[in-house]
Structure 1
Amino acid sequence: MRDGAYVRAVSGARLDLAAGECLALVGESGCGKSVLASALLGLLPGNAETAGSAFLGDLDLLAADERTLAVRVRGRRVGLVPQSPAAHLTPVRTVRSQLKETVRELNGVRRGPRLRAAAEEAAERAAFPIGHLDRHPHELSGGLAQRAATALALVGDAPLLLADEPTTGLDRDLVERTVDELRRHIGSERALLLITHDLAAAERIADRVAVMYASRVVELADAADFFGSPGPRHPYARALLDALPEREFTPIPGMPPELGALPAGCAFAARCDRATGICGTRPALTDGVACHHPATVPLEAPRA
């Protein structure tokens, strides 16, 4: 709730994610991606309300109380790689001390050489250089701060890694190294949910892509189909790709609707050159796309 009115930040999202898989959740800023991540970890503000379920194994994350989330989920079952790692790290403590504390809490290694060795092993897993462990966060580059945050997320061997905009503020070379590093940690017992507005990063490592627009998932597709052939089917998803510099570099006209004033029908209709009268009713997510006029390649004119 905001200013006395309800804001539907995420509506009707239905996603699944298997071990060994990377699902990229993409969309413009403000569409609800990070709110979804916060809901899974129980980090929404106190006036927020959730409905539905989000199962991780046999545990419903949305129904879990704060103690369960703190003791059983955060770090142990869901490892968070945050959007702003430098802000996520404690500024007055070295990376080593933060890794040691996390190892102590999650793995039960209490003190001495074993604790030191476990902290260094955690750093090595994320390709964080041992020689930088005694530095404070402000002494790290953006890429090293991201690796430190990744090291912390990996300590508990959580089956789900949740990376929320992990490449924000990084140059392209660091973006590629960061997502490659995240991809390396997906295995037979771990999955990755990558939340990003960087389609190039998603294309590089994702197995599947979910596109969110104005609080709703409007397309869900295999990454090879989405970025290759036949391409996106929802007009918004296609417009996202067409806006990339290496493609048509065509901006999407108009602005997305306010989440507190969503239309009854398709939220993209006001910006879509394929919209007709039927778009005044909300389309269901059917066969991987929520659109009355799903695109083909090449685009065909919609029928009235």
Structure 2
Amino acid sequence: MNEREAPVLSVRGLSVRFLLPGGARVAAVTDASFDVAAGECLALIGESGCGKSVLASALLGLLPGNAQTAGTAHLGDLDLLTAGERTLAGTVRGRRVGLIPQSPAAHLTPVRRVRSQLAETVAALTGVRGRSAVRDAAERAAERAAFPAGHLDRYPHELSGGLAQRAATALALVGDARLLLADEPTTGLDRDLVDHTVDALRRHVDGDGGGGRALLVITHDLRAAERIADRVAVMYAGRIVELADAKAFFGTPGPRHPYSRGLLQALPDRGFTPIPGLPPELTDLPPGCAFAPRCPRATAACAAPPPAADGTACHHPHVPEGLSA
């Protein structure tokens, strides 16, 4: 990113708390800070329940009524966390931010065919007019997401999970939004379609001659993240514990945080060694490092909150010389 160019998305100190009956609080996201630059894909990775999807919902104002947020999330001069529903619904969702939801079938209108939903989105977001032109644009959108033309006249309940995912991807790409937020965009897809999908998302970021677009992708699929991402943000127990260049993270020198290292070592082609133990309950987080009970490098120092140096929140980060030990 040019030093003088503002990021497409700038998040600072984003926290989300859910208030439960009886007064308990769920610390779903804590003090998340990151930027996503024009022309960049940032992959947010981590185990289920770590807060990734909650973070995405906060950015689009889609949290339930018992949620409280703090911090800022600037999309240009607009703070997404304080914007009202009229602004978010009228000028942000679909137009400035495209969303590929985690549960696409639940976001598709059940009583309308896929073709109709694509055509409506094309007409609303692109300015294309005329039945034939809208129809052609809808079919091109489907093709872009590898959604088969023979299924365009089906209802959402007639689609497999993978087809519903591709339909949601096609809808999200229609508006050519400057920021695309993809929450588990490869769920239910076989490997070839995973590659096709992430390549389509990458083309959206790169654009024709560089369109100034950006992508925040939330995924469990580390192979997909490696294929598409410029940088990686690793989330654990609601906190971002590492921000790293993707090539360095997946290659040499590798991740610095022990949790990040454990995620890679759990892959079938990297040892297939699971991380022992379970993540902590978000209603009862420890005062120090939340990963310490599962960490082979933990010491008494980990009872205190870890420092965040060089993008890694850890008392005992790995260094290049130690990765081969």
Which region of structure 1 is more displaced relative to structure 2, 258-267 or 113-122?
113-122
Structure 1 residues 214-269: Cα deviation after superposition (integer angstroms, max 9, x where no partner): 00000000000000010000000001111111111111111111111111111101
Following superposition, the deviation at residue 102 of structure 1 comes to 1.4
> Would the alpha carbon gap of residues 168 and 113 (structure 1) be closer, same or farther in structure 2, given more than 3 Å must change?
closer
Work out the CA distance in 2 between the residues paired with 1:198 and 1:115. 34
Tell me what 2:290 maps to.
267
Following superposition, the deviation at residue 112 of structure 1 comes to 2.9
Work out the CA distance in 2 between the residues paired with 1:152 and 1:114. 17
Match of 1:106 among 125, 132, 155: 125
Paired AA for residue 14 in structure 1: S
Tell me what 1:43 maps to.
62
Paired AA for residue 103 in structure 2: S
Following superposition, the deviation at residue 110 of structure 1 comes to 5.7
Give the TM-score, by structure 1 length.
0.93
Work out the CA distance in 2 between the residues paired with 1:102 and 1:49. 31
Structure 1 residues 60-112: Cα deviation after superposition (integer angstroms, max 9, x where no partner): 10110110000011000110111222332222211111012212322344653
2:149 matches 1:130:
yes
Which region of structure 1 is more displaced relative to structure 2, 189-198 or 111-120?
111-120
Paired AA for residue 113 in structure 1: S
Identity of aligned residues (%): 75
Work out the CA distance in 2 between the residues paired with 1:223 and 1:260. 32
Task: State how many pairs are aligned.
Answer: 300
Tell me what 2:32 maps to.
13
The answer to whether the 8 A contact 1:106-1:155 is kept is yes
RCO higher in structure (CA 8 A, sep ≥6): 1
2:77 matches 1:77:
no
Work out the CA distance in 1 between the residues paired with 2:49 and 2:146. 32
The answer to whether the 8 A contact 1:79-1:154 is kept is yes
- Please give the secondary structure, in 2, of the residue aligned with 1:7: strand
Gaps spanning 5+ residues in structure 2: where? 1-18
Work out the CA distance in 2 between the residues paired with 1:125 and 1:248. 36
Paired AA for residue 65 in structure 1: G
RMSD over aligned CA atoms reads 1.7
Work out the CA distance in 2 between the residues paired with 1:27 and 1:272. 15
2:224 matches 1:201:
yes
Tell me what 2:257 maps to.
234
Give the TM-score, by structure 2 length.
0.87
The answer to whether the 8 A contact 1:143-1:178 is kept is no
Gaps spanning 5+ residues in structure 1: where? none
Report which of the two has the higher share of strand. Answer: 2
Work out the CA distance in 1 between the residues paired with 2:138 and 2:195. 26
